[in-house]
Amino acid sequence: MCERWLEDRVGCDRAHLAKSGTSALEAAALLAGVGPGDEVVMPSFTYVTTATAFALRGATPVFADIEPRTLTMDPECAAAAITPATKAIVAVHYAGVGCDMQAMRALADDHDLVLIEDAALALLSTYRDQPIGGLGDLAAVSFHETKNLTSGEGGALLVNDRRLRDRAEIVWEKGTDRIDFDRGAVDRYRWVGLGSGFGANEITAAFLWGQLECADEITERRRLIWDTYHEAFEDLEVEGLLRRPVVPADRTHNAHLYYLLLPEAHPRASFIDALGARGVHAVFHYVPLHSAPAGLRYGRAHGELGHTDRISARLVRLPLWTGMGTGETDRVIEAVRGAVSSR
């Protein structure tokens, strides 16, 4: 039921419910056929499993810079990072806002690369009226407890390239043709390729189904909270005291998170401490992968990742959850204004 829902809402050819978004990315790496000597272009400003899924196959993550409006991978930087060893591109949709998928699709097609969407944060977002997750050859979504729709831990692999459909079934069935056996196409199932235990179980799916039944209501509620923040901080942005998120006109977002970008001269730690003193728990986000110990060991940065470094040091995430009431959003808004004025 969950898989059919995803196929219907995203428009993908096939959806496979997974144990986690990480499992879905690892399956995508396997399906992309990456291995030692291959390179995979991706942003450095992302969660670690975007890179580990491919490093586990022996491939080298190549980190490209982000563009400062949407905090998603800059197409020009991605293009410059492509070499004869490049096998795939991973487009990460940050904060529920889609990457420039037209540009990424053109890059993938021009260089005969597999295009994978890391849509962990972006289910029910759109790019040019098309659902995120349905634009790459493969996509991974997450249902972790921190996501808009959750099963506690869970995810899904979305297959859009029909040429990968049969192999995806083998990967999902631990490298066997068990699905053909279940269909009656063969009289026994055998080991026919590589795969693993990526799939979710019925209990996880049952929990998730209750969320999917309310998906539109959850998304609408989160967007209302997001819009309340956005309107409340407009004057602070006009005064140059902070920067709000940008959602391009050709995209819609699912209100996964709301962040603020502080001026470079303002220490983020003191701003977070000031919010904490007012009873509001705010946090930063990703430590860029290209500067992490494992990123230096298993990957490489292409050029100077200036936007990635500067933005990651300035970003603050505000509380946002589906059941958040008016009193709580007002408290956050008041705390932000107080923290800004106390600089």
> pLDDT tens across 5-29, in order?
999 999 999 999 999 999 999 999 9
**Average pLDDT of the segment spanning 257-272:** 92
Spell out the CATH class of 2-213: alpha beta
- How do residues 211-250 score in pLDDT, each as one tens digit? 999 999 999 999 999 999 999 999 999 999 999 999 999 9
Amino acid 187: pLDDT: 83
CATH 3.90.1150.10 is held by the domain 215-341: yes
Task: Give me the torsion for CA of 299, 304, 306, 307, rounded to 10°.
Answer: -60
Amino acid 342: pLDDT: 77
CA distance 151 to 206: 8
CA distance 259 to 253: 13
Instruction: Name the segment(s) of the chain with CATH classification 3.90.1150.10.
Output: 215-341
**Average pLDDT of the segment spanning 29-44:** 98
- How do residues 85-125 score in pLDDT, each as one tens digit? 999 999 999 999 999 999 999 999 999 999 999 999 999 99
Q: Which residue has the higher pLDDT, 342 or 88?
A: 88
CA distance 102 to 136: 10
* The pLDDT of residue 173 is above 80: yes
Give alpha helix (H) positions in the chain.
2-10, 21-32, 48-55, 75-81, 101-111, 165-172, 178-183, 202-213, 215-232, 234-238, 268-277, 293-298, 306-314, 326-341
CB 208 within 8 A of CB 154: yes
Amino acid 343: pLDDT: 67
* The pLDDT of residue 181 is above 80: no
Instruction: Name the segment(s) of the chain with CATH classification 3.40.640.10.
Output: 2-213
**Average pLDDT of the segment spanning 41-66:** 98
Amino acid 293: pLDDT: 97
Tell how far CA 203 is from the center of its chain: 24
Going from the C-alpha of 173 to that of each of 101, 168, 178, 320, the distances in angstroms are 30, 9, 6, 37
* The pLDDT of residue 265 is above 80: no
Amino acid 182: pLDDT: 81
Amino acid 180: pLDDT: 80
State the number of CA atoms in the 13 A half-sphere of 52 facing the CB: 10
**pLDDT-wise least confident of 146-150, 191-195, 312-316:** 191-195
Amino acid 253: pLDDT: 98
**Average pLDDT of the segment spanning 260-289:** 94
**pLDDT-wise least confident of 64-78, 255-269, 310-324:** 255-269
* The pLDDT of residue 153 is above 80: yes
